Amino acid sequence: MTAISLLLPARVRLPGALPEAAARALGRADREQQQAGGLAQLRRHFRLLPDHWPAAALTRQADAGDAAGATWLRADPAHVAPDINGARMLGWGEGLGLDAADAQALLPALRPLFGDAGFQLDAPHPARWYLRLPAGTPLPEFSAPEDAVGDDLFLALPQGDDPAARRWRALITEVQVVLHQHPWNRERAVQGKVAINSLWFWGAGALPDEVQSRYMNVRSPDPLLQALGRAAGASMASATTDPGAASGDSLVDLRHLRSLELLAGQVLPPLLESMARCEYDALCLDFEDGLRLHLRHGQRWRFWRRPLAALAP
């Protein structure tokens, strides 16, 4: 049975009333509630052996092809801004408009900090910086940047009084001092860009032995999802490829959507029409809040089901 799965944001990000055709089809769908959260959402579609989630190693392998045999930590450039209660991380990585000149200017100033600790810092991609760590390096728990953005910076930093947490909090402070004083940030200000005044550490781990997935095709702009798809042997379809035309099961990343009109008015109609022609067998709408709607061709006979008025709870 050929299936298409859509990765979607939490339903609260898609407010409004559903148009009639979408409301009718989604009202007849099977529903299930699973664990909420971005990581849990990805885990529903990929299985890693051993069962951990080393985002840094996965994207490092995609970016540079040399992740095997080492422990990696993402050290993404970030922008932190003070507020009345402390400071908040407001942007990181690709959201900062980075290019190769930024890495060339800033890495030489930062490398001695990490070299003294036995870590190697480099940037095979301007927006994705990495630390190669010695085997057995004690690490605290790090927050993914999407979970920390906009929140109180202190609460998002490694917590606790253990030596590893204290060491990394101190290292973050040293990084911020170096970057705050760096003249390259004045050049970025002249260009109308925000300062790169911190690094965000996350995604620690070693490359998994295996990544398993049912999907033969993956469409996503997200580097981590692209890395997972490639590791699982999926074909990375282009952004313009019609998922209904692909051979085999397909996973389509639409987590960036913030418009119900776009989803229900442009994305769903051709997919529903294609399923009605039996060009594929099942469609799954997987929301970040954990709700999953499963649509199949035979559900058109469920006349007794009420239309789904809206996605947002």
CA distance 4 to 280: 8
Domain assignment present for residue 275? The answer is: yes
Q: With contact defined as beta carbons under 8 Å apart, do 253 and 247 qualify? A: no
Domain shared by 65 and 159, yes or no: yes
Q: With contact defined as beta carbons under 8 Å apart, do 14 and 311 qualify? A: yes
Domain assignment present for residue 293? The answer is: yes
Q: Where a domain ends, among 206, 227, 251? A: 206
Cis before 145 (ω within 30):
no
Q: What is the token pair recorded at 282? A: 């099942």
Domain shared by 98 and 185, yes or no: yes
Q: Where are the alpha helices (DSSP H) in the chain?
A: 20-27, 38-43, 55-64, 100-115, 145-148, 153-156, 163-180, 184-190, 223-231, 260-262, 268-276
pLDDT score at 31: 94
Per-residue confidence of the chain (313 residues) as pLDDT tens digits? Answer: 789 999 999 999 999 999 999 999 999 999 999 999 988 999 999 999 999 899 999 999 999 999 999 999 999 999 999 887 778 889 999 999 999 999 999 999 999 999 988 899 999 999 999 999 998 888 998 988 988 888 887 878 888 888 888 889 899 999 999 999 999 999 999 999 999 999 999 999 999 999 999 999 999 999 999 999 999 999 987 555 555 555 789 999 999 999 999 999 999 999 999 998 989 999 999 999 999 999 998 777 777 788 899 998 8
Q: With contact defined as beta carbons under 8 Å apart, do 251 and 219 qualify? A: yes
Q: With contact defined as beta carbons under 8 Å apart, do 294 and 29 qualify? A: yes
Count, residues in the chain: 313
Domain shared by 273 and 148, yes or no: no
Domain assignment present for residue 236? The answer is: yes
Domain shared by 80 and 158, yes or no: yes
CA distance 99 to 287: 33
Q: Where a domain ends, among 191, 206, 221? A: 206
Domain shared by 17 and 147, yes or no: no
Q: Residue 227: give the domain boundaries.
A: 3-48+213-301
Whose tokens are 């099977």? That residue is 30
Domain shared by 282 and 153, yes or no: no
Domain count, the chain: 2
Domain shared by 187 and 142, yes or no: yes
CA distance 205 to 83: 33
- What is the SS3 assignment for 47? strand
Domain shared by 44 and 81, yes or no: no
Domain assignment present for residue 306? The answer is: no
Domain shared by 198 and 266, yes or no: no
CB atoms < 10 A from the CB of 117, how many? 15
Q: With contact defined as beta carbons under 8 Å apart, do 254 and 243 qualify? A: no
Q: With contact defined as beta carbons under 8 Å apart, do 125 and 62 qualify? A: no
Domain shared by 69 and 172, yes or no: yes
pLDDT score at 259: 92
pLDDT score at 154: 80
Whose tokens are 């339903």? That residue is 11
CB atoms < 10 A from the CB of 41, how many? 22
pLDDT score at 245: 56
Domain assignment present for residue 313? The answer is: no
Number of helical H runs and strand E runs in the chain: 11, 14
Domain assignment present for residue 123? The answer is: yes
DSSP one-letter string for 100-135: HHHHHHHHHHHHHHHHTTT-EEEEEETTEEEEEE-T
Q: Where a domain ends, among 206, 239, 260? A: 206
Domain assignment present for residue 311? The answer is: no
The CA distances from residue 108 to 77, 102, 105, 168, 171, in Å, are 14, 11, 7, 20, 16
pLDDT score at 246: 59
Domain shared by 17 and 78, yes or no: no
Q: With contact defined as beta carbons under 8 Å apart, do 77 and 98 qualify? A: yes
CA distance 252 to 243: 7
Domain assignment present for residue 92? The answer is: yes
Domain shared by 94 and 11, yes or no: no
